[in-house]
Structure 1
């Protein structure tokens, strides 16, 4: 009777070890990409608003410079969109936001 339980325990451990090895490469493939450096995100945001009139540009650049993490820039997307769409149209604003979204989705 003792042998039977030992065999079941050994079989359960062996099967779980095999299952863990099969799942291990999949877990590596599902690992998310590291977030882009904040400095590059800030540079991109400044490029998005660089050709706006001086007063709006300085306000946005100051806010971009004060951001401490990518989440702050994510919340500023509406400000970027509003400023660019007022001066260049909604189509141009959507095009620029698409560039930013590629970086912020990572």
Structure 2
């Protein structure tokens, strides 16, 4: 069992790796550029004032993991301008660009027939 200081140290280490993109060394510049471009293209027809922050975060991202976590900002900008259906459609276009390990397996509930 870990002592409290060791537990905190481990927690901080894991959190830092998650935030900074633990896969940074494995992400090629080509893959990052392709995903960045696709994400920015999805918000080009949204008001610049609404997407300025998202575009800055996308361009500053150093890993595919960081870009994956920015999908919410992109989705929100699209949804605000064009609605949820259009946001879902556009996000479906960029999801395949991300490595499989970042994409969570589908929930058992999504397989339930309605």
Identify whether the pair has TM-score above 0.5, normalized to the shorter chain.
Answer: yes
Report the Cα offset of residue 57 of structure 1: 2.0
2:90, 2:36 → 1: CA distance?
14
Q: Larger % of helix: which?
A: 1
Unpaired runs of 5+ in structure 2? 1-26, 101-114
* Structure whose CA Rg is larger: 1
Give 1:98's match in structure 2, choosing from 92, 99, 102.
92
1:60, 1:49 → 2: CA distance?
9
Q: TM-score, normalised by structure 1?
A: 0.62
Unpaired runs of 5+ in structure 1? 1-33
Task: Specify the alignment match of 1:51 in structure 2.
Answer: 45
Q: Which runs of 4+ in 1 moved over 2 A?
A: none
Is 1:38 aligned with 2:11? no
1:50 aligned counterpart, secondary structure: coil
1:81, 1:58 → 2: CA distance?
14
Report the Cα offset of residue 59 of structure 1: 1.5
Report the Cα offset of residue 105 of structure 1: 4.2
> 1:1-106 residue pairs with structure 2 within 5 A?
37-106=31-100
Q: How many residues align?
A: 73
